[in-house]
Amino acid sequence: MSKSILVLNGPNLNLLGTRQPDIYGSKTLVDLQAECVEKGEALGYRVDFRQSNSEGTLVDWIHEARNRYAGVVLNAGAYTHTSIALMDAIASVGVPVIEVHISNIHQREDFRHVSYVSKAAMGMICGFGFYGYSMALDALVNHLRH
Ligand code: CA2
């Protein structure tokens, strides 16, 4: 099995650290990448970390995981709440996907309470800031070892 994990980030997450620090903290996407790569190394996995504002690109990257990655950590951003295409991609690849959100989506607007990603993902972590990505990597590797 591949010893690589794909960490995917959706729309507007490239803006981390530039505004809304009350919701998303003050660190940047580059900081988050460094945390994920370091956590992956500690777990014995290489982490490939990507961000796109395009739904189709995220679908393509989930398809790419089928043969090349042991699992995926996915923060689909606002596509979480709208994208049947992402849900179908996750359901069709046969690779474990763990959903993560920086904020607690259930404490926010009603439209954020629905997640199409959750309908296909193995599990979901939200509300713990960047630490949620480390938790998701732990959960994924724990799953892969059992
Ligand atoms: O809490 C999360 O991680 C979200 O996936 C973030 C999405 C939001 O649409 C989801 O409901 C929850 C938005 C990401 C936007 O990130 C920004 C960061 C800094 C400044 C502006 C936007």
Structure confidence at residue 133 (pLDDT) = 98
Q: What is the DSSP string of 3-32?
A: -EEEEEE-TTGGGTTTS-HHHH-S--HHHH
Q: What is the mean pLDDT of residues 101-117?
A: 98
Residue 2 confidence (pLDDT) above 70: yes
Residue 142 — pLDDT band, cuts 50, 70, 90?
Answer: very high
Nearest to 100 by CA among 123, 116, 70: 123
Residue 133 is a catalytic residue: no
**C-alpha of residue 63 to centroid of ligand 1, in Å:** 23
- Minimum CA distance residue for ligand 1 atom 6: 77
Of all protein residues, the one whose alpha carbon is nearest to atom 13 of ligand 1 is 77
Tokens of 58: 């995220």
From the CA of 23, give the closest atom in ligand 1. 1
Q: How many domains does the chain have?
A: 1
Instruction: Give the pLDDT confidence score for residue 108 in this predicted structure.
Output: 98
| Domain coverage including residue 122 | 4-145
- The atom of ligand 1 lying closest to the CA of 104 is 1
CA–CA separation, 145 vs 142, rounded Å? 5
User: Is pLDDT larger for residue 29 or for residue 67?
Assistant: 29
Phi-psi region of 16 (alpha: psi -120 to 50; beta: other; left: phi over 0): beta
Pocket of ligand 1 (CB under 6 A): 12-13, 15-16, 18-20, 24, 75, 77-78, 80, 101-103, 105, 112
pLDDT digits over 70-101, tens only? 999 999 999 999 999 999 999 999 999 999 99
Q: What pLDDT does 43 receive?
A: 98
Q: Please state the pTM of the whole predicted model.
A: 0.97
Whether pLDDT at 30 is above 80: yes
- 3-class SS of residue 98: strand
Q: How far apart are CA 41 and CA 106, in angstroms?
A: 31
CATH of the domain at 78: 3.40.50.9100
* Atom number in ligand 1 closest to CA 19: 20
User: Quick check: is 143 catalytic?
Assistant: no
